[in-house]
C-alpha cells in the first residue's frame, strides 16, 4: 500500500471555498492558501514522506519556497528546485516527486502547471499538456493524477513511463494508489473510485442535502475521511475498498467541535488523524484491520506530521529536525488481521500471525517488510496464517536450470487451510541490495523443497520503490530475487532491455548456443507461448486441444490451449498453423486481445492514414492495428507498418514488454 499523507496548500483552501458555494455550509479552513509572496528564510513546511524519502518546502534567501529532500536512513540532503516561481502541494512516492508550479505562467494568472522530479535521474519535467488551473498532483510511482479547478473539476492521469495523458472525467482532488483513483464528487459531496485497469467507476460514499465529505486520504485499500453536515458537526469514518460489500466504519460520533484539523494519514496497517476533544488537539491512531481507535501520546503541535513510513508517523519540525512515532505495536489483540508478534524457532528469525476469516484480511510484518493480502473467499472459516522471516543459509540459490540467483530476504507463508483464491504477497528489499538499476528484472520466487531450487512466481515492481508484489496460490517459502540474464548477441541491441527483463522473468529463452538470436523470425506457436508465459495463463483442466494441428504433448500445446481459453487466439477453420511464420498483423491482433481481456478496457484507436501501407492491412486486423498504434504497442518503421511482414524475436520481446507496461505488470 502507498502511504498517503494529508493534502495541502491552496488546493485545500479552494476546496473549502467550493464547498461553501455549493453547499452553503460554514467551514473553518485549517490551512490558508499558499501565498505567492516571500516566506521567512529557512521556514520548513508541507512535508511529504514515502519510505525513506522525505521532502518539504523551505524558503530560500529570496523568500521563495523550494523543494528539499532528505534520505531518512543515510541523512543525504538535496535541494530539488531553485526557480523563482511559486510552488505548491509537493508530494513524493518512491523516487518520484510531484508538485504544482507557475514557472511558465504569469504570477497574476490563475493557471498552474504540474511538474515531476526523478530522484534517480535528477530530471525535472512538466507533465500537463494543456493549460489550466492544475492542482494537487498525486503519484504512485507509475502514474500521476491531478485536476483542473473547473466548477466540478476535470481530472487527468499521466503514465510516467509512456508519457501518455488521459482525461479521467469530472472530479475533485483525485488520489492515486495501486492503480485506483479515489476522488471527491462536487455535485453530491460524496466520494467515488475509478479503477484504471478496468475503467470501471463506482460511488464509495453517497451523500446529499447539507452533508459532504470535507477531506479524505486513500492508500489503495482503505479510505479515511472527515464528513460534515450543515450544522457544522463533523465525524471521521473509514472504509475498505477491497471488499465490495464493505460498509463505512464510524470512528467518531457526529458532533460539533471548537476547532477543526485537516491532518489524516494512512500507513501499512495503521492510520492516524487529529480531532478536537475537550478543546485540545488529540492525535488518534486506527488499526485498519479492526477499525479500533486509540489515543497516541504525542505533542501534535510540536511539528508538522509528514505522513507514514510503513507504520511510523514522521514528524518534521520547523527547525529541520525529524522524529518518529511508531504505531506498529498498536494493533488490536485476539489474532485479528494485521497483528504482529515477534518470535523465533529453529531457522525462523521473526514473524507475524493473524486469523483471516471468510471476508478476507491482511497480515503485515513489522513496518511493511512483508505483507499478505487475502481477498474475500480465500478461506471458508477463520484460519490462522503466519508470515515468518527465515534464514537464507539452508537454501541453494539457483533456479530450475541451475542458474545463480541473488536473494534479499526469505519468508515462510504458513496457513492452517489451503488457499481458495490467490493471495497478494508484497516483499520489500533494501537499497543495500544494489538493485536500483535492475528493478524490472526482480521477481518473487518460491522454493521447491522437494527439488531443491527456486521457481519464478511473478513480479510487479513499479508500484512503489523497494517493493515487489506477486500473486501466490499456496503456502511456502518466498523471496525477492534477481536472475540477471543476458545474451552476448543482444548487447547494445535496441531491444536489449526488453529482452533481458523478459528473460530474467522466465518469459523468453535463449538458444541452445547461449545466444538470443534477436533477428530470428517467430512462429505462431512461439508467440502464443510468449503470451501465455507473460500473462501467467493456464490451460485449465486437461482435454482435447482446441485445434486439430496442435497435438497433445507438443512443447507448445499447453500454451496454445491457454491462449485459446483466454480468447487470444482463434485459428482458421479448426487449425492453428503453429509452425507458420507470425505476421505483424497477426501478432498485433493477439496483443490487443490480450490487453483488452486482461484489463477489461477497450483500447483507443489511432488514425493510420499517415502510414503509406495502411491499405495492405487485412480487414480483420485493421481495428487491432489501429488500437496497437494508439497504445504505442507498435510504432512502425518510419511511415510503414509492414502488416504482412514477419515478426522477429527482438520485435516480439519489445511488444510483450510494452504490453506488460500497459497492464501495470512491470
Mean pLDDT on 463-490? 92
Contact assessment for residue 306 and residue 315, using Cβ atoms and an 8 Å cutoff: yes
3-state SS class at 227: strand
Q: pLDDT of 486-497, one tens digit each? A: 999 999 999 999
Mean pLDDT on 483-488? 93
**Does 544 score more than 80 pLDDT?**
no
> Per CATH, which fold does 348-482 belong to?
Chondroitinase Ac; Chain A, domain 3 (2.60.220)
- What pLDDT is attached to residue 175? 97
Residues paired with 356 in a beta bridge: 383
- What pLDDT is attached to residue 313? 86
Contact assessment for residue 513 and residue 529, using Cβ atoms and an 8 Å cutoff: no
Look up residue 174 and give its three cell numbers: 483525485
Mean pLDDT on 627-653? 90
- What pLDDT is attached to residue 339? 31
Instruction: Give residues with Cβ within 8 angstroms of 479, minimum separation 6.
Output: 392, 407, 408, 409, 410, 411, 427, 444, 445, 447, 454
- What pLDDT is attached to residue 599? 84
Planar angle of CA 92, 97, 102, nearest 5 degrees: 125
Q: Which of 88-92, 197-201, 405-409, 428-432 has the lowest mean pLDDT?
A: 197-201
Q: Which of 84-98, 193-207, 472-486 has the lowest mean pLDDT?
A: 193-207
Q: pLDDT of 293-322, one tens digit each? A: 998 877 665 446 778 888 888 876 666 677
Q: Which of 30-44, 243-257, 266-280, 345-359 has the lowest mean pLDDT?
A: 30-44
Confidence bin at 481 (pLDDT 50/70/90): very high
- Residue that wins the pLDDT comparison between 176 and 664: 176
Dihedral sign computed on CA atoms, order 322, 429, 162, 568: negative
Mean pLDDT on 546-554? 86
- Residue that wins the pLDDT comparison between 262 and 620: 620
Length in residues, the chain: 666
Instruction: Give percent of the chain above pLDDT 90.
Output: 51
How many angstroms separate the CA atoms of 642 and 391, rounded?
Answer: 53
3-state SS class at 87: strand
- What pLDDT is attached to residue 263? 83
**Does 540 score more than 80 pLDDT?**
no
Look up residue 13 and give its three cell numbers: 483552501
Q: pLDDT of 320-375, one tens digit each? A: 677 788 888 654 433 223 333 222 223 334 578 899 999 999 999 877 889 999 99
- What pLDDT is attached to residue 6? 40
- What pLDDT is attached to residue 396? 85
Mean pLDDT on 574-581? 89
Confidence bin at 635 (pLDDT 50/70/90): confident
- What pLDDT is attached to residue 463? 75
How many angstroms separate the CA atoms of 167 and 174, rounded?
Answer: 12
Strands, E, within 251-347: which ranges? 255-256, 264-266, 270-277, 280-287, 292-295, 304-309, 312-316, 322-326
- Residue that wins the pLDDT comparison between 10 and 611: 611
Q: Which of 75-84, 85-94, 138-147, 236-245 has the lowest mean pLDDT?
A: 236-245
CATH superfamily of 9-326: Prolyl oligopeptidase, N-terminal domain (2.130.10.120)
Confidence bin at 146 (pLDDT 50/70/90): very high
**570 φ/ψ sector (left φ>0, alpha ψ -120 to 50, else beta):** alpha
Look up residue 559 and give its three cell numbers: 500454451
How many angstroms separate the CA atoms of 615 and 408, rounded?
Answer: 53
The H-or-E segment that residue 350 falls in is strand 348-356
C-alpha dihedral (622, 499, 561, 198), degrees to nearest 10: -60
- What pLDDT is attached to residue 317? 66
Q: pLDDT of 389-430, one tens digit each? A: 888 877 889 999 999 999 999 999 999 999 999 999 999 998
- Write down the domain spans for the chain: 9-326, 348-482, 488-662
Look up residue 362 and give its three cell numbers: 491482511
**Does 472 score more than 90 pLDDT?**
yes
Confidence bin at 41 (pLDDT 50/70/90): low
Confidence bin at 291 (pLDDT 50/70/90): confident
Mean pLDDT on 368-383? 92
**Does 13 score more than 60 pLDDT?**
no
**Does 583 score more than 60 pLDDT?**
yes
- What pLDDT is attached to residue 301? 54
Confidence bin at 441 (pLDDT 50/70/90): very high
- What pLDDT is attached to residue 340? 30
- What pLDDT is attached to residue 300? 61
**Does 8 score more than 60 pLDDT?**
no
How many angstroms separate the CA atoms of 596 and 649, rounded?
Answer: 23
Does this chain's domain 9-326 share its CATH topology with 348-482? no
- What pLDDT is attached to residue 348? 39
267 φ/ψ angles, rounded to the nearest 5 degrees: -105, -155
Crossing angle of helices 524-535/649-662, nearest 10°?
30
- What pLDDT is attached to residue 5? 39
- What pLDDT is attached to residue 206? 82
* DSSP assigned state of 560: H
Q: Which of 44-48, 61-65, 87-91, 114-118 has the lowest mean pLDDT?
A: 44-48
- What pLDDT is attached to residue 570? 83
Q: pLDDT of 235-265, one tens digit each? A: 999 998 886 556 788 899 999 888 888 788 9
- What pLDDT is attached to residue 545? 65
- What pLDDT is attached to residue 318? 61
Amino acid at each position: 500500500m502507498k502511504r498517503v499523507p494529508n493534502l495541502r496548500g491552496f488546493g485545500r483552501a479552494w476546496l473549502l471555498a467550493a464547498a461553501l458555494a455549493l453547499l452553503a455550509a460554514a467551514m473553518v479552513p485549517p490551512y490558508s492558501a499558499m501565498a505567492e509572496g516571500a516566506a521567512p528564510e529557512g521556514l520548513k513546511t508541507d512535508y511529504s514522506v514515502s519510505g525513506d524519502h522525505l521532502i518539504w518546502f523551505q524558503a530560500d534567501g529570496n523568500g521563495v519556497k523550494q523543494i528539499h529532500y532528505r534520505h531518512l536512513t543515510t541523512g543525504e540532503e538535496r535541494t530539488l528546485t531553485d526557480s523563482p516561481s511559486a510552488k505548491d502541494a509537493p508530494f513524493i512516492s518512491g523516487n518520484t516527486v510531484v508538485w504544482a508550479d507557475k514557472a511558465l505562467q504569469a504570477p497574476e494568472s490563475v493557471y498552474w502547471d504540474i511538474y515531476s522530479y526523478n530522484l534517480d535521474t535528477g530530471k525535472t519535467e512538466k507533465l500537463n499538456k494543456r493549460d489550466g488551473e492544475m492542482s494537487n498532483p498525486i503519484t504512485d510511482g507509475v502514474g500521476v493524477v491531478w485536476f483542473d479547478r473547473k466548477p466540478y473539476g476535470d481530472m487527468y492521469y499521466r503514465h510516467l513511463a509512456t508519457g501518455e495523458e488521459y482525461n479521467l472525467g469530472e472530479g475533485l482532488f483525485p488520489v492515486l494508489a495501486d492503480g485506483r483513483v479515489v476522488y471527491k464528487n462536487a455535485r453530491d459531496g460524496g466520494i467515488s473510485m475509478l479503477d484504471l485497469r478496468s475503467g470501471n467507476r463506482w460511488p464509495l460514499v453517497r451523500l446529499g442535502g447539507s452533508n459532504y465529505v470535507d477531506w479524505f486520504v486513500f492508500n489503495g485499500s482503505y479510505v479515511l475521511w472527515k464528513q460534515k453536515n450543515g450544522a457544522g458537526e463533523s465525524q471521521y469514518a473509514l472504509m475498505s475498498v477491497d471488499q465490495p460489500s464493505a460498509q463505512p466504519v464510524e470512528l467518531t460520533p457526529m458532533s460539533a467541535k471548537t476547532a477543526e484539523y485537516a491532518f489524516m494519514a494512512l500507513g501499512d496497517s495503521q492510520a492516524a488523524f487529529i480531532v478536537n476533544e475537550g478543546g485540545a488537539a488529540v492525535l488518534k491512531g486506527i488499526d485498519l484491520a479492526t477499525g479500533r481507535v486509540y489515543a497516541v501520546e504525542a505533542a501534535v503541535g510540536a511539528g508538522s506530521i509528514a505522513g507514514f513510513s510503513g507504520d511510523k508517523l514522521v514528524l518534521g519540525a520547523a527547525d529541520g529536525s525529524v522524529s518518529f512515532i511508531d504505531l506498529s505495536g498498536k494493533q488490536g489483540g485476539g489474532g485479528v488481521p494485521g497483528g504482529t508478534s515477534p518470535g523465533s524457532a529453529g531457522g525462523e528469525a521473526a514473524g507475524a500471525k493473524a486469523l483471516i476469516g471468510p471476508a478476507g484480511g491482511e497480515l503485515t510484518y513489522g513496518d511493511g517488510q512483508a505483507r499478505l493480502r487475502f481477498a474475500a473467499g480465500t478461506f471458508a472459516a477463520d484460519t490462522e496464517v503466519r508470515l515468518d522471516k527465515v534464514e537464507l543459509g539452508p537454501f541453494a540459490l539457483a533456479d530450475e536450470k541451475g542458474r545463480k540467483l541473488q536473494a534479499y530476504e526469505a519468508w515462510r507463508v504458513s496457513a492452517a487451510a489451503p488457499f481458495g483464491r490467490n493471495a497478494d504477497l508484497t516483499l520489500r528489499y533494501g537499497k543495500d541490495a544494489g538493485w536500483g538499476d535492475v528493478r524490472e528484472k526482480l521477481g518473487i520466487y518460491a522454493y521447491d523443497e522437494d527439488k531443491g531450487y527456486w521457481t519464478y512466481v511473478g513480479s510487479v515492481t513499479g508500484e512503489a520503490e523497494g517493493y515487489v508484489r506477486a500473486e501466490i496460490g499456496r503456502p511456502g517459502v518466498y523471496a525477492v530475487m534477481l536472475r540477471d540474464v543476458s545474451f552476448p548477441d543482444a548487447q547494445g541491441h535496441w531491444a536489449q532491455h526488453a529482452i533481458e527483463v523478459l528473460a530474467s522473468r522466465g518469459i523468453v529463452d535463449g538458444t541452445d548456443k547461449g545466444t538470443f538470436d534477436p533477428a530470428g523470425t517467430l512462429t505462431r506457436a512461439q508467440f502464443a507461448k510468449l503470451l501465455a508465459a507473460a500473462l501467467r495463463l493456464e490451460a485449465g483442466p486437461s482435454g482435447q486441444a482446441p485445434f486439430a494441428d496442435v497435438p497433445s504433448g507438443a512443447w507448445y500445446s499447453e500454451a496454445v490451449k491457454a491462449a485459446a481459453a483466454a480468447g487470444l487466439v482463434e485459428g482458421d477453420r479448426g487449425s492453428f498453423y503453429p509452425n507458420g511464420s507470425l505476421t505483424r498483423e497477426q501478432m498485433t491482433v493477439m496483443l490487443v486481445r490480450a490487453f483488452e481481456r486482461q484489463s477489461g478496457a477497450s483500447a483507443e484507436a489511432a488514425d493510420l492514414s499517415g502510414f503509406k501501407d495502411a491499405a495492405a492491412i487485412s480487414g480483420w486486423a485493421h481495428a487491432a492495428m489501429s488500437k496497437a498504434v494508439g497504445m504505442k504497442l507498435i510504432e512502425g518503421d518510419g511511415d510503414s507498418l509492414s502488416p504482412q511482414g514477419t515478426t522477429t524475436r527482438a520485435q516480439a520481446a519489445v511488444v510483450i514488454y510494452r504490453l506488460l507496461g500497459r497492464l501495470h505488470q512491470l
